[in-house]
Structure 1
Amino acid sequence: MKLDSTALQEALSKLDGWQGNDSGISREFMFPSYADGVAFALKVTLLAEKSNHHPDALTISWKKVKVVYVTHDAGGVTELDLQAASKVNALV
């Protein structure tokens, strides 16, 4: 079930580094090298496969990786997205 704006903002206040709105949540992670960012992105990919909940976007840039979650079937951000974001935070 899609979270309303109030519930989403309350949840994001407890989720280190994540921001967003009804259309999705995101966080940008910084790394000391490009290779470290790629390794992190692979960990996010494996986590997504294991949990069967995939990021909407996983963007690898120079020394940074941006992760975006939204549940398209629900038309916005759900508890699944928040749980996935929390698990991604635990990878760092």
Structure 2
Amino acid sequence: MKLSGNQLQAALQALSGWQGEDTGIAKEFTFQSYADGVAFAMKVALLAEKMNHHPDGLTIGWKKVRVVYVTHDAGGVTELDVEAARKVNAL
């Protein structure tokens, strides 16, 4: 079920660095090297497979990785997206 605006704001307050956007919730992670970012993106991909919930966006840039979650079937951000974001932060 899609989170209400208030639920989303409360969830974001508990998610360090994540921002609410029209397209879901997103965070950009910064790394010492390009290879470190790629390794992190691979961990995110493996987590997604394990959870059977995949990021809408996983963009690898120069020393940066941007992760975006949204549940399209629900039409917005759900608790599953928030849980995935928590697990990504723990990586």
Counterpart of 2:78?
78
What RMSD over aligned residues (CA atoms) do the two structures have, in Å? 0.8
Counterpart of 1:10?
10
Q: How does 1:23-62 map to 2 (within 5 A)?
A: 23-62=23-62
CA distance in 1, matches of 2:42, 2:60: 10
CA deviations over 1:22-46 (Å, ceiling 9, x no partner): 5300000000000000000000000
Indicate conservation of the 8 Å contact 1:41/1:60, yes or no: yes
Matched residue count: 91
TM-score (norm 1): 0.96
| Residue segments in structure 1 that go unaligned for 5+ positions in a row | none
Q: Percent identity over the alignment?
A: 75
